[in-house]
Amino acid sequence: MYDECLLKPNLVETKMAATLSLPIIDLSSPHRLSTANSIRQACVEYGFFYLVNHGVDTEFMRKVLNHSAKLFSLPLQHKMDLARKDYRGYTPLYAEALHPSVSKGDPKESFYIGSVEDTSVAFLNQWPSEELLPNWRPTMESLFWKLVEAGKELLSLVALSLNLDESYFEKIGALNKPSSFLRLLHYPGELVSNEEIYGASPHSDYGMITLLMTDGVPGLQICKEKFKQPQVWEDVTHVDGALIVNIGDMMERWTNCLYRSTLHRVMPTGKERYSVAFFFDPASDCVVECFESCCSESSPPRFPPIRSGDYLNERFRLTYGSERELKCSIQLKN
């Protein structure tokens, strides 16, 4: 699917990347049809847009990023006490690459929080103790709930944008215990070697939609035409108070590639950077099958139906290997 030359970007080309003006979508607008139309245009053209009035206020976003910075500044041993298990917890530097064929992991550390909404899995989450990081867990739980709320609201507009009933995703069971994940990210910033050409290697997200919070430090780039060579990368700048939303691979399958799951990456700038990604994915038993409004006789479905859980498991396996492999890579590094 990816060309190898993608992995060796020319740094000159990178520095000269053009800056995009992505569409801004107002989640609270009463003009739902025109908002849905703008979403459609954004998803067809970019697969990315900014979301404003989404219910997570700027002050709270700052608080979340501060809490995230506190976690990552803990001594490594404290963080390793929360090492990732069942896809939840701390992942150290270089332990994973978002592009499956990058041999060395990405120079970033992350902390994963799985659904707090689904009580059958919420207990799997790992939390720093209240003594170590006061108010950390309630802050992240509150963020989780706010993003679930924003995600559901946004999906009703996405359904409308595809000429479907506003409650379509609910009706097909996608939102009944959605498999959502928060990924707190820290890119340390200092360039350790010339080899480290990425903060996060090129990838598309696997799921339905991603809502991303950034701290203002640049680095995020997108490539609209993932199969075209040479690839053209454009900068996505931070907009204060806005979330950056992107379409994932499952939504691309659902829409028969009408909506793009756009390739993106994070380039290192030498500056420390924090971000928080919220992956809002369908419930695992929801079947992802081309929407009727997205196929016709002349444009038949390009992908067979697939259970969301099966699809995600396979993508996770390719990215993370098994949890056993993760433990080995951690031991080697300490």
- Which chain residues interact with ligand AKG by CB under 6 A? 183, 185, 200, 205, 212, 214, 220, 264, 266, 275, 277
End-to-end CA distance of the chain: 34
Which tokens sit at 160? 């409308």
Whichever of 275 and 308 has its CB closer to ligand AKG, that residue is 275
Rounded Cα–Cα distance for residues 69 and 161 (Å): 37
Q: Which does 275 bind (CB under 5 to 8 A by kind): ligand AKG, Fe ion, none?
A: ligand AKG
Q: Measured between alpha carbons, how far is residue 290 from residues 48, 131, 305 in Å?
A: 21, 49, 7
286 contact, one of Fe ion, ligand AKG, none, CB 5-8 Å limit per kind: none
Task: Tell me if 219 sits within 8 A of 201, measured CB to CB.
Answer: no
> Among all residues, whose Cβ is closest to ligand AKG?
275
Q: In angstroms, what is the minimal distance from the CB of 204 to ligand AKG?
A: 9
Question: Which 3 state secondary structure label does DSSP give 221?
Answer: strand
The pair of three-digit structure tokens given for residue 43, joined into one six-digit string: 């998803």
Closest CA to 154 of 291, 246, 259, 62: 246
CA distance 75 to 64: 20
Positive/negative CA dihedral, 212, 216, 220, 224: positive
Q: Which of Fe ion, ligand AKG, none sits in contact with 220, Cβ below 5 to 8 A by type?
A: ligand AKG
Q: What is the CA radius of gyration of the chain?
A: 19
CB of 227 to Fe ion, least distance (A): 18
Residue 212 site contact among Fe ion, ligand AKG, none (CB < 5 to 8 Å, cut-off depends on kind): ligand AKG
Residue 235 CB coordination number (10 Å): 15
Q: Which residue lies nearer to Fe ion by CB, 202 or 282?
A: 202
Q: Specify the DSSP element, H or E, that contains 58.
A: helix 58-72
The CB-based long-range contact list for 91-95 (8 Å cut-off, 24+ gap) reads 91/326, 92/330, 92/333, 93/188, 93/333, 94/329, 94/333, 95/326, 95/329, 95/330, 95/333
Q: Which is nearer to ligand AKG, 84 or 264 (CB)?
A: 264
Question: From the CB of 218, what's the least distance to ligand AKG, in Å?
Answer: 10
Nearest-approach distance from CB 314 to ligand AKG, in angstroms? 17
The distance of closest approach from Cβ of residue 205 to Fe ion in the complex, given in angstroms and rounded to an integer, is 4
Strand residue runs (E) in 82-208: 89-91, 109-114, 181-187, 200-203
Q: How far is the CB of 77 from ligand AKG (least distance, A)?
A: 25
Q: Which is nearer to ligand AKG, 6 or 212 (CB)?
A: 212
Q: 165 or 314, CB closer to ligand AKG?
A: 314
Query: Shortest approach of Fe ion to residue 246 CB, angstroms?
Result: 7
Measured from the CB atom, the residue of 205 and 249 that comes closer to ligand AKG is 205
Which of residues 186 and 294 has its CB atom nearest to Fe ion in the complex? 186
Task: Considering the complex, state which of residue 143 and residue 200 has its C-beta at the smaller distance from ligand AKG.
Answer: 200
Contact (Cβ atoms closer than 8 angstroms) between residue 270 and residue 109: no
DSSP E strands in 140-207: the ranges are: 181-187, 200-203
Q: Please report how close the Cβ of residue 206 comes to Fe ion at its closest, in angstroms.
A: 9
Residue type, 275: S
58, 146 Cβ separation under 8 angstroms: no
The partner in contact with residue 35, picked from Fe ion, ligand AKG, none with C-beta cut-offs of 5 to 8 angstroms by kind, is: none
